Amino acid sequence: DVYKRQLLHDDVVDESDLRRGNKTANAIYGNAAAVFVGDFMYSRAFQMMVGVDSMHVMRVLADATNIIAKGEVLQLLNCHNADVDIDDYLRVIRYKTAKLFEAAARLGGIVGGAAPEIEGRLAAFGMHLGTAFQLIDDVLDYSADEADTGKHLGDDLAEGKPTLPLIHVMQHGTPEQAALVRGAIEHGGRDDFAAVLAAIKDSGALAETMCYAEAEAKRAIEAISVLPPSNFKDALLQLSDFAVRRNH
């Protein structure tokens, strides 16, 4: 329910009309309905947490929802800001996206009665997995088939979001490419999408972002290396691979 709420509110904030090829709730029912349903899901999630009767569970999810909200605010502040650097951007995605992965993985350990060390390693796994997942989303926004992703290419650029591929062009592209991307971030929209896409490909920005994602996935795998062999561990390893190999 926490994740569903995040998707509903994200679509409202981003003014998105497509998700996975389907009309978003806000596109069908309006922003007010989407926000209220998201709020209901949040409150329902906490209602369910109380039923678990564990302060540890409550603390983890309360912290996660707070950090996620902080990440959403930081992302809004970063929109149309071409001075955002890699550290700034990674902070946003670790707060906004990876924190929920971290909480989910940590809660699996808590509910399963894992020792504190294992709980911490599961949390690290989730954080790195979530970071890799979001970095691949950044790549797909400039490289995927719209039929696979179910969303419009260039949505991030249209919203003025300085994601890692754009930051790479500004730092490592030609002066002309950097100026182009800077202007596109500051003004938003899709008018310069074709030229920006060419600059992204020419500068190697997608390959560099993939390298970041693969490094995060590797860190996720290393975090759970101490776990004994099991079907559950295999599933986590498969998730790490899927996060960076997916095309949607």
CATH of the domain at 215: 1.10.600.10
Q: What is the per-residue pLDDT across 79-89, written as a single tens digit (0 to 9) for each? A: 999 999 999 99
Whole-prediction pTM value?
A: 0.85
User: Lowest-confidence range among 7-21, 64-78, 132-146?
Assistant: 7-21
Residue scoring higher pLDDT (103 or 54) = 103
Domain edge (last residue) among 52, 78, 93: 52
The average pLDDT across 212-235 equals 97
Are 128 and 224 found together in one domain? yes
Residue given tokens 């564990």 in the structure block: 54
Q: What is the per-residue pLDDT across 102-140, written as a single tens digit (0 to 9) for each? A: 999 999 999 999 999 999 999 999 999 999 999 999 999
Are 131 and 120 found together in one domain? yes
Q: Kindly state the helix (H) or strand (E) to which residue 18 belongs, with its residue range.
A: strand 18-19
In percent, how much of the chain has pLDDT > 90?
A: 68
Are 75 and 102 found together in one domain? yes
Domain count within the chain: 2
Residue given tokens 């995060």 in the structure block: 216
CA distance 125 to 119: 10
Residue 36 has pLDDT above 80, yes or no: no
The average pLDDT across 63-70 equals 92
Residue 210 is predicted with a pLDDT of 97
CA distance 165 to 140: 10
Residue 35 is predicted with a pLDDT of 75
Mean pLDDT of the chain: 89
Residue 97 has pLDDT above 90, yes or no: yes
CA distance 223 to 225: 6
Residue 1 is predicted with a pLDDT of 57
Are 78 and 6 found together in one domain? no
Residue 19 has pLDDT above 70, yes or no: no
- CA 5 → CA 24, 35, 81, 88, distances in Å? 13, 8, 27, 25
Residue 47 is predicted with a pLDDT of 80
Are 66 and 42 found together in one domain? no
Residue scoring higher pLDDT (211 or 246) = 211
| Runs of H (alpha helix) within 15-115 | 25-29, 31-52, 55-78, 86-93, 99-111
Are 191 and 177 found together in one domain? yes
Residue 44's contacts (CB-CB under 8 Å, 6 or more residues apart) are 1
- CA 111 → CA 70, 103, 227, distances in Å? 26, 12, 16
Residue 152 has pLDDT above 70, yes or no: yes
Are 58 and 48 found together in one domain? no
Residue 146 is predicted with a pLDDT of 65
Are 209 and 232 found together in one domain? yes
Are 146 and 84 found together in one domain? yes
Are 21 and 72 found together in one domain? no
Residue 20 is predicted with a pLDDT of 61
Residue 172 has pLDDT above 90, yes or no: yes
Are 211 and 236 found together in one domain? yes
- Which domain, by its residues, includes 196? 54-245
Residue 149 has pLDDT above 60, yes or no: no
Are 19 and 140 found together in one domain? no
